[in-house]
Structure 1
Amino acid sequence: MNQSIEHHPDDVIKKLIQWAEPQDSIRAILLTSTRAIPGTSVDIFSDYDVVLVVEDIHPFYEERRWLGDFGDVLVVYWDSIYRDPDYGNDKFGNVTQYSDGLKIDFTFFPVDWLRKVAGASALPAELDAGYRVLLDKDGLTDGMRPPMYAAYIPVPPTNEEYQKAIEEFFSDAPYVAKCLRRDELLPAKWCLDYDMKHVYLRPMLEWRMELDHNWSVPARVLGKGLKKRLPPEIWSQLEGTYAGADIADNWEALFRTMTLYRQVAQEVGEGLGYAYPFELDRRVTAFVKEMQQR
């Protein structure tokens, strides 16, 4: 990719509108996600998340040469057509990377979907997080609620949710230990670096972030932005939980992950007035250490 090429947002949006205006089947365009949220930091790598509202989604799925109207296509990921769980309409999307660096995430909905959204008492999360109307040929968005930018902001967990999250995190530790003892790197890394970190540690880190920001900051996908929102010492500890392929290094990474989770979960519990389950932690940690020494 020629990284010297920067796409000015106004030029990309202008091209989208000019492309859609003469096409009768396209009735509206919405811009969503990062580029539609005021004050959000973007760079040359930020995607354009584009919702296309059309008379019939199927021609755009079946005949795909239209992607080339925005540049030389490098690679594309396509969803299958599926039913929107909120409104019951068929939809699909694709993620298109162009060879000059432009990346557009297209999502297609039928006109009926936008009519339902405009008449609903609340916006779907992806629109409440932020949207801009780029084109509306029929006034379909007239009266549509403005975004509140409140979607994806975590709410404080209940004590039951807090306790459940901790137990489920620690339930993974013996499995990682077993895999490391067997020299089974792939399942060990999957459980340690995905399940323990992304499924359980990341939400706890997000709760910790919210304690410092009065439960007002959206949690971004896959932990984006956490480095800027967490105390530096916590982020430094998180970096220390990653290891390469060496089994001994992964034992150390496992214990560092458990140590970090313990610290952050205690801080979250103190902030919410919940008791941390020290006895569960102690027993699981002792069990894992014993497995290491067998």
Structure 2
Amino acid sequence: MDLFLETLTPWAEAEGGIRFAMIVGSQARRTDPADEFSDIDVVLSCADSRPYLDALDWLAPLGTPLLSFVEPTAVGGEFERRVLFDSGLDVDFVLLPHATLAGWAADGMPPEFGTVAARGLRILVDKDGIGARLVDRLPPKAPPDRIWSAAEFAGKTQDFLYHCLWAARKAARGELFVALQCLNGLLRPHLFDLARMHLRLTRGAAATDWYGARMIERWADPVTIAALARTCAGHDRAGILSALDAAIDLHASLGREVCDRLAISYPAEAAAQIREMVARV
């Protein structure tokens, strides 16, 4: 990474359209730092971000792109150009309008992006002297997950149970890829969120500030990890139905403890009926 930064920093200094550059993510973190598999997350504020999102020619001084595309950022609602250079170096360039970054310096970053930056931030170029204000407005720590209301828990649980049966019926019909899409893309994220809320309620506000399944092998307990592993399935009907049964089991296990702390009742009867319907399928 040091060799790349030796090229990036003078390039950003000389590039008229770039006003600010910083490194965030694993390459700047104090805990859980980068390893050999980590990419480099670069934030660039631009007088006009469109030329950097729409074209590739600006990358030439930094290396030869093998692959590159634009996608929304994982957090914060911005856009980034992801680049895999022919050397194998993987760099995500988050390209912000400079007015956006100036607004962050004045009012603070959006919470999700602020959480990422608070773990580690390394300013490389600051042509307008806003870096100190940006750092001053970083959250001192990640804000804890908001505790679900009884209505939110009920809605999430009914969504989860409904789609367990939906996926089972798709698998029974032979639409295995659709069933797997539901299992992997909808049901397991429900379980990740529930595991986070369970941790929040059983261990306190500082239990974890990772989103989704990031670092879940580190912050979840071994029993939960083993149960999550049983919700994985291959392209076969029996395996999918077994994984759905394991997902219902895990949801009930975590959900009952969450409900105890929220002083509400887990919908055991509905869960039992869904389990029976899945078994009949």
> Aligning the two structures, in what range does the TM-score lie when normalised by the shorter sequence?
0.7 to 0.9
User: Which position in structure 2 is the counterpart of 1:3?
Assistant: none
Matched, 1:223 2:223: no
The amino acid that maps onto 1:66 is W
The amino acid that maps onto 1:283 is Q
Structure 2: unaligned runs, 5 residues or longer: none
User: Which position in structure 2 is the counterpart of 1:129?
Assistant: 116
Q: 1:79 to 1:228 in 2, by over 3 A?
A: closer
Residue identity (%): 24
Name whichever of 157-166 and 52-61 sits farther off: 52-61
**Aligned residue pair count:** 272
TM-superposed CA distance for 1:112, in Å, is 1.9
User: Which position in structure 2 is the counterpart of 1:113?
Assistant: 100
The amino acid that maps onto 1:140 is I
Question: TM-score w.r.t. structure 1 length?
Answer: 0.83
Q: 1:128 to 1:203 in 2, by over 3 A?
A: closer
Matched, 1:36 2:28: yes
In 2, the alpha carbon distance for the partners of 1:129 and 1:153 equals: 14
Residue of structure 2 aligned with 1:182, choices 173, 182, 207: 173
Q: Kindly report structure 1 stretches of 4+ aligned residues shifted beyond 6 Å.
A: none
Question: TM-score w.r.t. structure 2 length?
Answer: 0.87
Q: 1:260 to 1:44 in 2, by over 3 A?
A: same
Residue of structure 2 aligned with 1:273, choices 221, 240, 263: 263
Residue of structure 1 aligned with 2:149, choices 128, 148, 158: 158
The amino acid that maps onto 2:126 is D
Q: Deviations over 1:127-157 (max 9, x none)?
A: 3431332210121334333422544742221
Matched, 1:72 2:64: yes
Q: 1:210 to 1:75 in 2, by over 3 A?
A: same
Q: Secondary structure at the match of 1:143?
A: helix
TM-superposed CA distance for 1:185, in Å, is 0.7
Q: Deviations over 1:71-110 (max 9, x none)?
A: 3322112249xxx97xxxxx64211112323111112222
Matched, 1:287 2:277: yes
Structure 1: unaligned runs, 5 residues or longer: 1-6, 86-90
User: Which position in structure 2 is the counterpart of 1:4?
Assistant: none
In 2, the alpha carbon distance for the partners of 1:189 and 1:96 equals: 29
Q: Deviations over 1:204-255 (max 9, x none)?
A: 01112324541222133x4021111111121112111212112112111111
Q: Is the 8 A contact 2:241 2:278 kept in 1?
A: no
TM-superposed CA distance for 1:202, in Å, is 1.4
